[in-house]
Every structure is written in C-alpha cells, then in structure tokens.
Amino acid sequence: MSLFDLTGKVALVTGSSRGIGRAIALRMAEHGARVVVSSRKREACDAVVREIEAAHGPGRAVAIPASISAKEELQSLVAETERRLGPVDILVCNAASNPYYGPLAAITDAQFRKILDNNVLSNHWLIQLCAPGMVARRDGAIVIVSSIGALKGSPVIGAYNVSKAADLQLARNYAVEYGPHNVRVNCLCPGLVRTDFARALWEDPDMLAETETGTPLRRIGEPDDIAGAAVFLASPAGRFVTGQALVADGGLTIAR
C-alpha cells in the first residue's frame, strides 16, 4: 500500500472552491479519497466537483455549500456528508476570513469577533462534529490550515495572525485529547501563496519583491505547493505526526 493512499476515505475540505482548499481537494481525490467540496457558493463548488469527476469518474466528489460563520450550516454540512458519502475520515479546516487590513490597534470589536469566530470557533465546531465518529472508528485525521502569520507579528494583519496562532493551540489541545483514540490533529502553516484571499499582499509590488528576496526558494507559494503537505498529514505517511505545525513557506521564516 502506498504511504499516501487515501482510497476509501471521505475527505471534507472547507473553503475548497478555490485557492489552497481547491488544490487540497483535487490532490486528495487524486490519491483516492472521495471529497466533499464546500464553500458558500454552490456554483463554485459544483465547478470543482466537475473537475474532480472529469479526472477520476463519477461519485468521487460532491458539493455541499455551507458558511463557516453559521453553526447550523456546519451541522448540516457534516450530516449531509455522512448521508451522501459516509462518515468523515479526513477533515480539512481551510476556510477562513480576514475582513480587516491595518493595524491591530484600530480594529473594531465586530471585525475582531468575526475573525475569531470564522478562523477559530468554526474549526472547533467542525472538530466537535466530526471527531466523535473518528474516535469510534479509532481512525481519523484533522488538518487545520493556519499560517506563518501565527509565528510572527504584522502591522497589517495582526488580528488574522492572532486567530491563526489560536489554531495552533486548538490543534495541540485536540491532539492530546484524541491521540489515545488514534485521531491525529495538525496544522499547516503556509507562507504567502498566490490566492485570491492573499491578493492584497502579493499584488503589492514592494511586498512581493521583499518576500521573494527574503525567501530561500526566491518565490512565493502556489496553492498546489500546500496540497501535498495536506495529503501527507492525512495519509498513512503522517500516521506518527500529531499536534504539529507544519510550515510550508519556501524557507521564509528561517531566513528572516
């Protein structure tokens, strides 16, 4: 058996209609998983499902739209996943939001709460919904997409970084709780990746040039650069890895 074989697994990936989430969904399907593509807009989810089915055949993916800001929608997401594909074996908490770009000192309470709710509390909800089944089967992998922002400060995305740092502890704590049941929980920490979500950063010529110059690999990331790490953490190859923050940033954090 391949160390990266996900055949027979059901993978639920939030925020998977574009960017890093889409890349993870495509690669998990490539490695054999049946994938739930989820984001707010059905049309965007359907497009990714069509892409997966064109490559791997019918029945390999379903679209189940949901907003991470609404607990009842996440409850429906998990229930519908179980009805259509079966229990969730792999949960990838990728969806996140950042409605504020500027100094942390000037953020409003509403903006800060939205960031914490969408980037931390929603992950907690999804883990609460999916982990009991994993515990019962004594098998499961949970991946939270955090950020290298969790490891440093920023003059413009400080609140986002606070939320991503909280995700690291969320993973560590759940790894301790669920480890005895053979359920692994890890974080992925991408650097700057060329996605719509990070457009404000990489479209800034000065910031892009500074990042590329300071990165040992001399480039920013592409969504597919992160997908392989997610497959590793979800597959038998990562079966002895839990509670960790896997950095995928081209070497940026070790060079600056």
Q: Which of 100, 101, 160, 178 is catalytic?
A: 160
* One-letter amino acid of 200: A
Per-residue pLDDT tens digits of the chain, which is 256 residues long: 699 999 999 999 999 999 999 999 999 999 999 999 999 999 999 999 999 999 999 999 999 999 999 999 999 999 999 999 999 999 999 999 999 999 999 999 999 999 999 999 999 999 999 999 999 999 999 999 999 999 999 999 999 999 999 999 999 999 999 999 999 999 999 999 988 877 777 778 888 888 889 999 999 899 999 999 999 999 999 999 999 999 999 999 999 7
Residue 174 annotated among the catalytic residues of the structure: no
In this structure, are residues 165 and 150 in contact, taking their beta carbons and an 8 Å threshold?
yes
What separation in angstroms does the CA of 92 have from each of 2, 79, 95, 205, 253? 21, 16, 9, 32, 24
What separation in angstroms does the CA of 119 have from each of 43, 47, 98, 163? 23, 25, 9, 6
- The structural domains of the chain, with segments of one domain joined by +, span 10-255
Domain 10-255 falls under CATH 3.40.50.720:
yes
Q: Which residue has the tokens 């089944």?
A: 133
* One-letter amino acid of 256: R
* Gap between the Cα atoms of 37 and 109, Å rounded: 31
Cα 26 to chain centroid distance, Å, stands at 13
Hey, what are 92's tokens?
A: 């990838």
Tens of pLDDT along 55-89?
999 999 999 999 999 999 999 999 999 999 999 99
In this structure, are residues 63 and 89 in contact, taking their beta carbons and an 8 Å threshold?
no
Q: What is the pLDDT of residue 126?
A: 98
- DSSP notation for 155-179: SSBHHHHHHHHHHHHHHHHHHHHHG
* Gap between the Cα atoms of 123 and 120, Å rounded: 5
* Predicted TM-score of the model (pTM): 0.95
What separation in angstroms does the CA of 44 have from each of 15, 48, 88? 10, 7, 22
